[in-house]
Structure 1
Amino acid sequence: MIGVKFGSYNLQDPANGVWVTDTDVYSSPTNAIQTDSLAESDGGLVVKQRYQSKTFKVEGLIRADTIAELETMLDQFKAAMASKNQAFDIDYAGGIRRYLANAQNVILTKGRRVTSAAFSVEFQSPDGVGWSLDSTALIASEGVTGSVVTVPVTAEGSYQVDPLITATFNTISGGTAKTVTISNDVTLRGLSVTRNWATGDVLEIDCLNKTVFVNDLAAEFSGQFPKWEPGAGALGYVDNLTSRDMTLRASYTRRWL
């Protein structure tokens, strides 16, 4: 029996009279596709794709020994479902998939057995994707001494990867008013930071939260935050320093459609 929780409330707890009988949480979010008509030709061209927020249902049963106990359990159930922005966790592939969710429609139905009730809850997940609970290395540790470097990477999951990238400059020469650029080497989407670089500087690019820090202070940058599609790819590094000995690391949380 798979584990299912919403916040701290255990939806899969037969020992205490609550269990799930059905859910469609495994479905992918809707992929909104925008196409433009081709000029002087049949058909169209896809110009934009965007996954929308996802709605899914969970159905199950609640049973008690007495009517009074059942009614108490129903009140507890409704109170738990009223909690906002909770983690919806479900066992999957030997681990746990987590969705940020809100219960937007809760239906409780008493049947012929006065000590049992069926429930149906419609959840809304704003980002529409499931998250792994652990962090995964995109680049465990890569020593960089060249000014132009390509690092092969493999992105896991079934949704785009927005990593946390850290570049630690162990030694630098010729760092005054110089530019460091980190990008997706396939799409060439990336960002650049121009400043006076020095030995010991740490550049941190958080592609998910869209922040750039140098030595824990917000830094100015240009360009776009890179992202990687699932599968094989590469991270590109370019600078115009005189020399550098830098350690590059990147990590991310796997996400699933």
Structure 2
Amino acid sequence: MIGIRYGQFNLQDPQRGIWVTSTDVYSSPESSIQADTLTQADGALVVQQRYRSKNYSIEGVIRRATVPQLEQAIDEFKMAMAVRNQAFDIDYAGGVRRYLSYANTVTISRNAHGTSARFVVSFLCPDGVGWDVNSSALLEPTGITASGATSPIHVGGTYKAQPTISVTINTITGGTDRVITISNGTTLRGISVQRDWVAGDILEIDSLKMTVFVNNVAVDFTGQFPQWEAGPSSISYLDGFVARDVTLQVAYTRRWL
């Protein structure tokens, strides 16, 4: 039996008298597609595709030895479902998929004198995708000594990666008023930071939170935060230094439609 939890509440525990019989959490979120009509031609061109938030539900059973115990269990269940913004964790493919969720509707049905009840809970997952519980390395620490370098990467999961990128300057020559650029090697979308660089500086770009820090201090930047579609791709580094020894590493959390 697969494990299912909502926050700290175990939804899949037959020994305690509660289990889930079905769920449609495996469904992909609805896709919103914008298509513009072609000029002086038939048909249209898709110019944008976005995923909406996802609604899903679970169905299951609560069972106890006596009616008072069942009624107490129902109250405990409803209290657990009332906690907002919780992780809905479900076993999948040898790991755990996590959906940040809100319980929209909790429906309980039971016989007046029975000791079991059926439940149906509808959830809203605002971002529409499942996450791995732990982050993964998209690029292991990689030394760079040239002004430009492109490293192959492979994005796991089935949804785009918005990683955290770290550049550590080990040694440097000619770092005054120079630019470091990190970009998607395929789309060329990236972030540039211009400043006086010295050995020991650490540049951190968080494409998910859309922040850029140097030595834990927010800095000005230009460009667009890079992101990568699932599958093979590359990440590019570029600087204007005379000489350098830097370390580039990238971490992300796999996400799933």
TM class by shorter-chain length?
A: over 0.9
Q: Give the alignment of 1:135-154 within 5 angstroms.
A: 135-154=135-154
SS of match in other structure, 1:134:
coil
Name the CA distance, whole Å, in 1 between partners of 2:18 and 2:111: 15
CA-based RMSD:
0.8
SS of match in other structure, 2:134:
strand
Query: 2:250: which partner in 1?
Result: 250
Name the CA distance, whole Å, in 2 between partners of 1:62 and 1:195: 61
Contact 1:184–1:227 under 8 Å retained in 2 = yes
Structure 1 position 148, deviation (Å): 1.1
SS of match in other structure, 1:77:
helix
SS of match in other structure, 1:87:
strand
Query: 2:7: which partner in 1?
Result: 7
Query: 1:19: which partner in 2?
Result: 19
Name the CA distance, whole Å, in 1 between partners of 2:184 and 2:111: 56
* Identity value in percent: 54
Q: Give the alignment of 1:1-257 within 5 angstroms.
A: 1-111=1-111, 114-257=114-257
Structure 2 gaps of 5+ residues are: none
Contact 1:167–1:204 under 8 Å retained in 2 = yes
Structure 1 position 111, deviation (Å): 3.8
Structure 1 position 250, deviation (Å): 0.4
Structure 1 position 112, deviation (Å): 7.5
Q: Which amino acid aligns with 2:188?
A: L
Name the CA distance, whole Å, in 1 between partners of 2:96 and 2:239: 40
Contact 1:33–1:49 under 8 Å retained in 2 = yes
SS of match in other structure, 1:128:
coil
Q: Give me the TM-score of the superposition, normalised by structure 1.
A: 0.99
**Structure 1 stretches of 4+ moved >4 Å:** none
Question: How big is each residue's C-alpha offset from its partner over 1:92-148, in whole Å with a ceiling of 9 and x where there is no partner?
Answer: 000100010010010000047611100000000010110001111111111101111
Q: Which amino acid aligns with 2:234?
A: A
Q: Which amino acid aligns with 1:91?
A: D
Q: Which amino acid aligns with 1:58?
A: I
Q: Which amino acid aligns with 1:246?
A: V
Name the CA distance, whole Å, in 2 between partners of 1:78 and 1:18: 13
Structure 1 gaps of 5+ residues are: none
Name the CA distance, whole Å, in 1 between partners of 2:197 and 2:4: 49
Name the CA distance, whole Å, in 2 between partners of 1:130 and 1:19: 21
Q: Tell me the matched-pair count.
A: 257
Contact 2:61–2:117 under 8 Å retained in 1 = yes
SS of match in other structure, 2:76:
helix
